[in-house]
Chains A and B, each alone.
Chain A
Amino acid sequence: MATAEVRFPEERINGRRASAERRPAILRLLEAERSEEIFPLLLEEILALGYPRALAVDVNFDTGDITPAAALKWPRQQLEKFSTALWVSEHQLVGVLHSTQPAILNKTTIHNRPIYVHPIYYSNRSLCWEADRIRTGSCLAVQNFRKEKRIRLEEQVCPTCDMRAYAAAVIVELPKQSAAQGIVEHAELAELIELANRYLSRLFKVEHYYNRMRDMEITIAQMGTVMQSMADPVILTDTQHRVIMQNKAAERFFKVPDEMTEGLVRAVELNNLLFSAALSSMLVSGTDAHRDLTLVDAIEGEEMLFEAVSAPTYGPDGIQIGTVTVMRDVTDLRRADQELRANYDKLREAEEVVRQDRDRLNLIIENVGDPIVVCDSESKIVLVDPLAQELFGTSAETARDTAQFQNLTRLNTYVGSFTYSFAERETAPLKLISPSLKQEIEYDARSGKIFDERGEVAYTVTVLRDLTALRKVEQLKVERRMLEIEKFAATGRLAATIAHEVNNPMEAIKNAIYLLAGAVPENAVPVYNILKSETERVARIVRQMLGLYRNTEQVKPVNVNTIIEDTLLLLNRQLQRVNVEIKTDLRTLPDAVIAADQMRQVFSNLVINAKDAMSKGGKLIIRSRHIPGRDDLHGWVRILIADTGTGIPPEMSRTIFEPFVTTKGEKGTGLGLWIVRGIIQNHAGKLSVRSKLGQGTVFRIDLPVMKL
Chain B
Amino acid sequence: MTAQGKYRVLVVDDDASVLVTYRLILEQEGYEVAACGTSREAIAAVEKKNFDAILCDYSLEEQHTGFEVISAARKRNPDVPAALLTGYATNETADEAEAQGIGIMFKPIEIEEFLATTSKMLRRDNEPKQENGKENDSTQPQGGGQGRQQRGNGGVGRRRTAGGPAKS
Residues of A within 8 A of B (CB): 496, 499-500, 503-508, 510-512, 514-515, 539, 542-543, 546-547, 550, 552, 554-555, 593, 678, 681-684
A503 and B159 within 8 A (CB): no
B106 and A510 within 8 A (CB): no
- Contacts A500-B88, A514-B25; is A507 near B164 (CB within 8 Å)? no
Q: Mark B150-168, 1 if CB is under 8 A from A, else 0.
A: 0000001001000111011
A507 and B159 within 8 A (CB): no
Nearest-neighbor residue (CB-CB) of A496 within chain B? B88
Determine which of B21, B159, B163, B167 lies in contact with A511 in the assembled complex, contact meaning CB atoms within 8 Å. Answer: B21
Q: How far is the CB of B73 from chain A (nearest CB, A)?
A: 22
Nearest-neighbor residue (CB-CB) of B160 within chain A? A555
A504 and B88 within 8 A (CB): no
Determine which of A539, A555, A593, A684 lies in contact with B108 in the assembled complex, contact meaning CB atoms within 8 Å. Answer: A539
B87 and A546 within 8 A (CB): yes
Q: Mark B86-108, 1 if CB is under 8 A from A, else 0.
A: 01100000000000000000111
B111 and A514 within 8 A (CB): yes
B18 and A508 within 8 A (CB): yes
CB-CB under 8 A from B28, the residues of chain A are 515
A684 and B15 within 8 A (CB): no
Query: Which of B20, B106, B107 has the most C-beta atoms of chain A within 10 angstroms of its own C-beta?
Result: B107
Q: Mark B24-48, 1 if CB is under 8 A from A, else 0.
A: 1100100000000000000000000
B164 and A508 within 8 A (CB): no
B106 and A550 within 8 A (CB): yes
Determine which of A543, A550, A554, A682 lies in contact with B156 in the assembled complex, contact meaning CB atoms within 8 Å. Answer: A554
> With an 8 A cutoff between CB atoms, is B7 at the interface?
no
Determine which of B21, B24, B107, B165 lies in contact with A682 in the assembled complex, contact meaning CB atoms within 8 Å. Answer: B165
Determine which of B20, B25, B164 lies in contact with A683 in the assembled complex, contact meaning CB atoms within 8 Å. Answer: B164
DSSP class of A's interface residues: helix, strand, loop or mixed?
helix
Q: Mark B49-81, 1 if CB is under 8 A from A, else 0.
A: 000000000000000000000000000000000
A543 and B167 within 8 A (CB): no
CB-CB under 8 A from A683, the residues of chain B are 164
Query: Which of A500, A539, A546 has the most C-beta atoms of chain B within 10 angstroms of its own C-beta?
Result: A546
Nearest-neighbor residue (CB-CB) of A708 within chain B? B155
CB-CB under 8 A from B163, the residues of chain A are 684
- When A and B form their complex, what is the total count of cross-chain residue pairs whose Cβ atoms lie within 8 Å? 76
A681 and B165 within 8 A (CB): yes
Residues of B within 8 A of A (CB): 13, 15, 17-18, 20-22, 24-25, 28, 87-88, 106-111, 156, 159, 163-165, 167-168
Tell me, in angstroms, the Cα distance from A546 to B109 when the chains sit together.
13
Q: How far is the CB of A531 from chain B (nearest CB, A)?
A: 14
- Contacts A496-B88, A514-B111; is A504 near B15 (CB within 8 Å)? yes
CB-CB under 8 A from B108, the residues of chain A are 503, 506-507, 510, 539, 542-543
Query: Which of B15, B21, B168 has the most C-beta atoms of chain A within 10 angstroms of its own C-beta?
Result: B21
Determine which of A499, A678, A684 lies in contact with B87 in the assembled complex, contact meaning CB atoms within 8 Å. Answer: A499
Can you list 24 A-B pairs, Cβ within 8 angstroms, ordered by A? A503-B108, A504-B15, A504-B18, A504-B107, A507-B15, A507-B18, A507-B21, A507-B108, A508-B18, A510-B111, A511-B18, A511-B111, A512-B17, A514-B111, A542-B87, A546-B88, A547-B168, A554-B156, A555-B156, A681-B165, A682-B164, A682-B167, A683-B164, A684-B165
Tell me, in angstroms, the Cα distance from A649 to B20 when the chains sit together.
56
CB-CB under 8 A from A542, the residues of chain B are 87, 108
Nearest-neighbor residue (CB-CB) of A550 within chain B? B106
Query: Which of B20, B88, B111, B164 has the most C-beta atoms of chain A within 10 angstroms of its own C-beta?
Result: B88
Determine which of A508, A514, A515, A681 lies in contact with B15 in the assembled complex, contact meaning CB atoms within 8 Å. Answer: A508
Determine which of A505, A507, A550, A593 lies in contact with B109 in the assembled complex, contact meaning CB atoms within 8 Å. Answer: A507
Tell me, in angstroms, the Cα distance from A681 to B95 when the chains sit together.
13
Tell me, in angstroms, the Cα distance from A514 to B21 when the chains sit together.
9
Tell me, in angstroms, the Cα distance from A512 to B22 when the chains sit together.
9
Q: How far is the CB of A346 from chain B (nearest CB, A)?
A: 70
CB-CB under 8 A from B15, the residues of chain A are 504-505, 507-508
CB-CB under 8 A from B25, the residues of chain A are 511, 514-515
CB-CB under 8 A from A552, the residues of chain B are 110
Given contacts A503-B108, A515-B21, 9 further A-B contacts (CB under 8 A): A506-B108, A507-B15, A507-B21, A511-B22, A546-B87, A547-B168, A593-B159, A681-B167, A684-B165
Nearest-neighbor residue (CB-CB) of A499 within chain B? B87
Tell me, in angstroms, the Cα distance from A96 to B106 when the chains sit together.
168
Query: Which of A511, A543, A552, A683 has the most C-beta atoms of chain B within 10 angstroms of its own C-beta?
Result: A511
Q: How far is the CB of B105 from chain A (nearest CB, A)?
A: 11
- Contacts A546-B106, A555-B159; is A505 near B87 (CB within 8 Å)? no
Nearest-neighbor residue (CB-CB) of A548 within chain B? B168
- Contacts A503-B87, A507-B107, A507-B108; is A678 near B156 (CB within 8 Å)? no
Q: How far is the CB of A273 from chain B (nearest CB, A)?
A: 98
A543 and B106 within 8 A (CB): yes
Q: How far is the CB of B13 from chain A (nearest CB, A)?
A: 8
Q: How far is the CB of B168 from chain A (nearest CB, A)?
A: 6
Query: Which of B13, B87, B108, B168 has the most C-beta atoms of chain A within 10 angstroms of its own C-beta?
Result: B108
Tell me, in angstroms, the Cα distance from A550 to B87 when the chains sit together.
11
Q: How far is the CB of A511 from chain B (nearest CB, A)?
A: 3
Tell me, in angstroms, the Cα distance from A507 to B23 when the chains sit together.
13
A505 and B17 within 8 A (CB): yes
CB-CB under 8 A from A681, the residues of chain B are 165, 167
CB-CB under 8 A from A550, the residues of chain B are 106, 167-168
Nearest-neighbor residue (CB-CB) of B19 within chain A? A508
- Contacts A511-B22, A678-B167; is A500 near B111 (CB within 8 Å)? no
